[in-house]
Amino acid sequence: MTRVWKWNRPVTVREVLEDLQQERSIAYTTVMTVLDNLHQKGWVRREAEGRAYRYEAVSTRAAYAAALMNDAWSQSDNPTAALIAFFGMMSEEQREALRDAIRIVQGPETRAPGPETRAPGPETPAPGPGSAPDAGER
């Protein structure tokens, strides 16, 4: 899956083989079997191209990692303790990434509108010729 995710596009057995062979000796049939197994398990989809297939990941690596974490956490009899232990294993960089993710999920904090968030007023010029019509004008 690492090779399929790496390219983020449909790949052939030959492409994966050539990439793997830069690190170790491996047979074409081995790569073909692994990609076929991944297809049967629903991890990749494939589309025929001539006499071969192009394989593409069904989900992203991030989605896969999130599903693994969710599965592990949901199996805990004490989710709070599991999170505390998990956070305790994190590096400072990982904790900062977690804080960033929480900020993104929660959205912007509620605050009084400033000049950059103020609604357009009468000083806003009327649309000129060639500008897109409002939704109500369509």
Digit-by-digit pLDDT tens for the chain (138 residues) are 999 999 999 999 999 999 999 999 999 999 999 999 999 999 999 999 999 999 999 999 999 999 998 999 889 999 999 989 999 999 999 999 999 999 999 987 655 454 554 444 444 344 444 434 333 333
For 2, what's the count of Cα atoms within 13 Å in the CB-facing half-sphere?
3
Describe the strand order of the beta sheet including 44-49 as a list of residue ranges: 11-12, 52-57, 44-49
**Using CA atoms, how far apart are residues 52 and 133, in angstroms rounded to an integer?**
49
**Using CA atoms, how far apart are residues 94 and 91, in angstroms rounded to an integer?**
5
pTM above 0.75, yes or no: no
